[in-house]
Amino acid sequence: MTATGKKLLRLRGRWRDQIFTDRNISHAAFRVGYALANFMTMEKTAEHYSASGDVEIFPSHTTLGKDANVSPDTVRTSLAQLEKRGHLQKTRRGNSWTGSNRYKILIKIGRRNASRKSSGTGTEFPA
């Protein structure tokens, strides 16, 4: 496994822990987040990550729904909840009919280090 692949695995684990400990998200939002995290180790993600320093993934609502065993409507509300709680940032590419969503994974720094930014990836921000 490449160094980038190993780093993505560590980030995936941190992000899963982060959403697991957030008691203010629904069970469905956790399931969708967990399914979303599975895309963090795919080849396209690794290529993009090494180029930008950010973890951006772009699965469809249908794919996430199948992986999380929820409806596409539940995926939409769950992603909105994860975004509102600061776990991800959604950006839209293209127009509303043919475009796609990209999800930037945001990893919060623990309370002890909240006063400074990490020198790691661009995916971290103070809690």
Gap between the Cα atoms of 117 and 123, Å rounded: 10
Compute CA 93 distance to the chain's CA centroid, rounded to the nearest angstrom: 17
In order of start, what are the domains of the chain with their CATH numbers?
3-125 (1.10.10)
Coil vs helix vs strand at 126: coil
72-84 vs 61-68: helix crossing angle, rounded to 10: 100
Lowest mean pLDDT among 39-43, 45-49, 68-72, 94-98: 45-49
- Looking at the chain, the whole-number percentage of residues with pLDDT higher than 70 is 72
pLDDT at 9: 85
Question: What is the rounded CA–CA span in Å between residue 84 and residue 87?
Answer: 8
Could you read off the pLDDT of 13-59 as tens digits, one per residue? Answer: 999 999 999 999 999 999 999 999 988 876 666 666 656 667 888 88
Least Cα distance to 110 among 27, 14, 7, 40 occurs for 14
